[in-house]
């Protein structure tokens, strides 16, 4: 399987660097690009780093053009996704969990996310799943709120 | 030094601190034994829990976790041929082969003894060198620190992934994210986009949890088969004969030295030390043919090498405030949360804490020996917990931990975005360590660089006119040259392989 992610990395890197440079005048109070010559300017370091990032991204782009693409090594994490639907479902679970924290609170949201995510990932021992889904969020809640005196997100509904 | 150590131990030791170190050690062994849950991920997830504890409780707990997780990784490597942590990858080479021959207990005990001896010797090195190094480092000023920070970042970027350029891009991205918030010199806001939560900068711990734990959840989720393990090798049997231990001692001592040396260098952690120690032991062995087929010496070398890095990685962190790897980057965050700023002044201001921790490191080694032997008998069932139930539990810990840092949902969002970014980086082969260490070092690097240039009459010449700075710069240039030369050789070799095939 041939996989060439380097071009994507170079493009994202260059975009981030150029984006940071473009944001300097707006995001660092009236500082212009001349700040690169003024070490006292708050824009000095960000401009320097953004320029370095753009330069290295361009170098990566140029270097990869000269180099032949190579097959993936065993155990390599790069490369195409094996189970895209499951990945998308897991990612959606995480986003929904974040959204649910404010609405239904940490405990209820955690019970739901453990159940849904475990089922998504293929866990089918329902008794154990129910026990874990109930015990862990309650345990974490008690450890944080009663043991460490740290409040966890409380929901608007519960 | 011995007096300082005794004073630190007397002031810092208590039933609670030893108890929490033990608790951390046990948690580390169990979590490290779960394949896929790395030492970095474990510490990242557990660190927020310690923010609300006393120093004498929080730091022993985390150091116990670190030590336990690195050792725990060897258990599944031997029993099910799957390393619990990346640092145990070399252990699978011979460990599982021995287990298949019915010698799992021999391999597990050799791994434990090697781990304890390597860790103990490296802890003694740590105790011996940190105070003298800190006495030298106290003479360092902004130009020296600028070069040191750049040196550390460049080294980490160079060795932590396949491509130096990708490592440098990751480091630059981390430094850019580190610029968000208030400018350390003028107090102006930078890149906050009018979001009040961003004015204090991006919190490190949520990013770390996201990058290491949430990205792992995503990486595991995309796999077609989630860790299918059919059987675990029996870990019972006869104890390791003394003659075997004696035979492996030279390899253990050499691997201790290798681990301690590599651990002290930025970027070269346990994951690399285990392979270097294994390779060295094989090269010098009287029976190199046994390597890969079931060599106890091989298990000893790999495990000693990776555990010896644990105390050694604390050397650059404690002396210069430079994390040598991702675990120490998280530990640095935990130290700072406790009001301890690692660096040369730490020994003057909080010497009792530092020496107390050294004492605890020695003690937890002995505890590792005792509880490791117990773990060998009882932990074989833990390695079989399926990922499909483990990952949802890890997710809940991540969200609770990220929120607890400053009780803000914004931090949870940062963690989530960090998780997706970490996933993207891992999928495209961009190393994560340079990113997180640059995020951590961005502010001190910027301060040191700007102060150096501000107070210099000759601009950038200040980096070559000061003797210590010039010496460090020469070392930096030499290391860069070496890395570039090795990269060039490697590229030529790959090109010739591609050409011949």
Separation of CA A116 from chain center: 21
What's the burial of A35, exposed, middle or buried (CB within 10 Å: 0-12/13-18/19+)?
Answer: buried
Tell if the CB–CB gap between A6 and B224 is shorter than 8 Å. no
pLDDT at B32: 80
Per cent of chain A over pLDDT 90 is 53
Answer whether A46 sits within 8 Å of B190, measured CB to CB.
Answer: yes
Task: Please name the residues in contact with B36: beta carbons below 8 A apart, sequence gap of 6 or more.
Answer: B84, B216, B220, B227, B387, B390
Contact flag B190-A28 (C-beta cutoff 8 Å): yes
Residues of A in contact with B404 (CB under 8 A): 144, 148, 150, 152
- B234 contacts: CB under 8 Å, gap ≥ 6: B102, B104, B380
- The string of pLDDT tens digits covering residues B174-197 is 999 999 999 888 888 999 998 999
Beta bridge partners of A71: A2
Find tokens 């806001």 and name the residue: B189
Pairing verdict, β B189-190 and B181-182: antiparallel
pLDDT in tens, A22-55: 999 888 876 777 778 788 889 999 999 999 999 9
pLDDT reported for residue A69: 53
Mean pLDDT of B206-218: 89
Contact B221 A121 (CB under 8 A): yes
Kindly report, residue by residue over B14-71, the tens digit of the pLDDT: 888 889 999 999 988 888 877 767 778 888 888 888 888 888 889 899 989 988 888 8
Mean pLDDT, rounded, for B226-230: 50
A153: chain B residues, CB-CB within 8 Å:
403, 409
Query: What pLDDT, in 10s, does the model give residues B139-171?
Result: 888 999 999 888 888 888 877 666 888 999 999
Split at pLDDT 50, 70, 90, the class of B8 is confident
Contact criterion met (CB < 8 Å) for B389 and A129: yes
- Could you give the CA distance from residue B311 to residue A139 in angstroms, rounded to a whole number? 33
Token pair 């031997």 in the structure block, residue: B78
**Residue range B305-332: mean pLDDT, rounded:** 87
Cβ distance of B416 and A94 shorter than 8 Å: yes
A113 → closest Cβ in B179, B224, B392: B392
Q: Predicted ipTM?
A: 0.91
CA dist B277 and B301 (Å) reads 6
Q: Which residue of B has its CA nearest to A115?
A: B392
Pairwise CA distance, residues A90 & A93, whole Å: 5
Chain A: give the shortest CA distance to residue B237, in Å: 32
pLDDT at A15 over 90: yes
State the best of A90, A104, A133 to mutate against chain B, taking most chain B CBs within 10 Å.
Answer: A90
Q: Taking CB atoms and an 8 Å limit, are B190 and A27 in contact across chains?
A: yes
């Amino acid at each position: 399987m041939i996989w060439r992610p380097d071009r994507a990395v170079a493009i994202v890197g260059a975009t981030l660097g150029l984006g940071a440079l473009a944001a300097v005048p707006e995001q660092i109070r009236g500082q212009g690009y001349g700040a690169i010559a003024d070490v006292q300017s708050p824009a000095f370091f960000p401009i320097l780093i953004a320029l370095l990032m753009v330069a290295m991204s361009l170098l990566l782009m140029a270097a990869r053009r000269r180099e032949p693409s190579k097959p993936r090594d065993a155990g390599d994490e790069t490369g195409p996704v094996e189970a895209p639907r499951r990945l998308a479902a897991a990612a959606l679970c995480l986003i929904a969990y974040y959204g649910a924290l404010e609405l239904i609170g940490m405990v209820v949201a955690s019970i739901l996310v453990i159940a849904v995510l475990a089922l998504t990932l293929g866990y089918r021992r329902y008794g154990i799943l129910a026990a874990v889904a109930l015990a862990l969020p309650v345990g974490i809640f008690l450890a944080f709120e009663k043991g460490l005196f740290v409040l966890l997100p409380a929901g608007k509904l519960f | 030094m011995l007096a300082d150590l005794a004073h630190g131990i007397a002031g810092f030791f208590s039933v609670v601190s030893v108890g929490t170190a033990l608790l951390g050690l046990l948690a580390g062994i169990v979590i490290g034994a779960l394949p896929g849950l790395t030492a970095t991920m474990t510490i990242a997830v557990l660190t927020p829990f310690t923010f609300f504890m006393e120093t004498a409780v929080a730091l022993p707990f985390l150091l116990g976790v670190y030590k336990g997780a690195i050792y725990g990784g060897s258990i599944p490597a031997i029993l099910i041929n799957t390393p619990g942590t990346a640092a145990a990858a070399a252990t699978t080479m011979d460990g599982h082969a021995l287990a298949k021959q019915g010698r799992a207990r021999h391999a597990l005990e050799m791994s434990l003894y090697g781990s304890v001896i390597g860790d103990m010797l490296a802890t003694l090195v740590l105790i011996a060198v940190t105070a003298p190094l800190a006495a030298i480092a106290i003479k360092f000023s902004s130009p020296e620190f600028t070069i040191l920070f750049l040196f550390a970042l460049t080294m980490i970027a160079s060795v932590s992934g396949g491509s130096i350029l990708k490592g440098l891009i990751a480091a630059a991205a981390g430094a850019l994210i580190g610029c968000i918030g208030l400018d350390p010199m003028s107090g102006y806001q930078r890149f906050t986009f009018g979001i009040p939560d961003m004015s204090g900068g991006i919190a490190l711990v949520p990013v770390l949890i996201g990058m290491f734990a949430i990205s792992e959840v995503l990486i595991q989720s995309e796999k077609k088969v989630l860790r299918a393990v059919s059987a675990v090798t029996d870990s019972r049997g006869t104890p390791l004969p003394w003659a075997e231990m004696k035979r492996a001692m030279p390899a253990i001592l050499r691997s201790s030295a290798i681990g301690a040396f590599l651990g002290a260098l930025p970027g070269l952690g346990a994951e690399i030390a285990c392979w270097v120690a294994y390779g060295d032991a094989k090269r010098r062995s009287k029976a190199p043919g046994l390597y890969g087929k079931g060599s106890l010496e091989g298990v000893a070398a790999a495990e000693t090498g990776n555990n010896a890095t644990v105390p050694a990685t604390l050397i650059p962190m404690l002396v210069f405030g430079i994390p040598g790897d991702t675990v120490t980057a998280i530990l640095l965050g935990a130290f700072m949360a406790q009001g301890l700023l690692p660096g040369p002044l730490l020994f003057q201001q909080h010497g009792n804490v530092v020496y107390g921790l050294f004492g605890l490191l020695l003690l937890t080694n002995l505890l590792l020996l005792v509880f490791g032997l117990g773990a060998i008998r009882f932990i074989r069932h833990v390695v079989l917990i399926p990922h499909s139930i483990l990952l949802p539990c890890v997710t809940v810990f991540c969200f609770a931990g990220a929120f607890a840092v400053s009780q803000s949902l914004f931090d949870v969002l940062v963690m989530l975005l960090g998780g997706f970014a970490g996933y993207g980086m891992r999928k495209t082969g961009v190393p994560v360590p340079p990113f997180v260490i640059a995020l951590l070092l961005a502010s001190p690097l910027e301060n040191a660089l700007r102060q150096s240039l501000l107070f210099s009459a000759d601009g950038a010449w200040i980096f070559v006119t000061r003797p210590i700075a010039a010496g460090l710069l020469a070392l930096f240039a030499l290391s860069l040259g070496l890395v570039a030369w090795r990269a060039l050789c490697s590229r030529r070799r790959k090109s010739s392989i591609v050409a011949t095939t």
